[in-house]
């Protein structure tokens, strides 16, 4: 799957709450109710990520998870990143 052009990236970001362009990636910091909720988000997302075989760069600090999505094989942002962002939005909504 190929790299997205700037217009497609901008269009995708308008559909995704709180996501920003970060160079060759799209990024968001999710904030949860607690450290446990942040861990639950990562645990719930992990099988979905593996199913997609498309993996985020992500890190946790206390109740926050910062996610950066880029397609390393393509060298930038592809539809796989937009799809994974949509999945992470959906998973984040399931965490109390
Ligand atoms: C062989 C396997 O499909 C690849 O290494 C996958 C795994 N997950 C990946 N994740 C991301 N973000 N980019 C990739 O290019 C990528 N490649």
Tokens of 96: 């109390």
Its sign, for the CA torsion 77, 17, 21, 95, is negative
Domain with 37 in it: 6-92
pLDDT digits (tens, 9 = 90+) for 6-38: 999 999 999 999 999 999 999 999 999 999 999
| pLDDT for the residue numbered 56 | 98
Alpha carbon distance 11, 50 (integer Å): 26
In a domain, 1, yes or no: no
| pLDDT for the residue numbered 1 | 64
Cβ of 6 below 6 Å from ligand 1: no
In a domain, 29, yes or no: yes
pLDDT digits (tens, 9 = 90+) for 69-92: 999 999 999 999 999 999 999 999
pLDDT digits (tens, 9 = 90+) for 34-57: 999 999 999 999 999 999 999 999
In a domain, 32, yes or no: yes
State the CATH number of the domain containing residue 88: 3.30.1360.20
In a domain, 46, yes or no: yes
Nearest CA to ligand 1 atom 2: 53
Split into its structural domains, the chain has a count of 1
| pLDDT for the residue numbered 33 | 98
Q: Which of 25, 54, 57, 81 to mutate to test the pocket of ligand 1 (most atoms within 8 A of CB)?
A: 54
């Amino acid at each position: 799957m190929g790299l997205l052009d700037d217009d497609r990236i901008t269009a995708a970001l308008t559909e995704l709450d709180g996501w920003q362009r970060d160079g060759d990636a799209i990024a968001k910091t999710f904030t949860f109710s607690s450290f446990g909720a942040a861990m639950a988000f990562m645990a719930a997302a992990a099988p979905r990520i593996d199913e997609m075989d498309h993996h985020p760069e992500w890190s946790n600090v206390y109740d926050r998870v910062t996610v950066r999505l880029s397609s390393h094989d393509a060298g930038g942002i592809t539809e796989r990143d937009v799809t994974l962002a949509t999945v992470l939005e959906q998973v984040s909504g399931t965490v109390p």
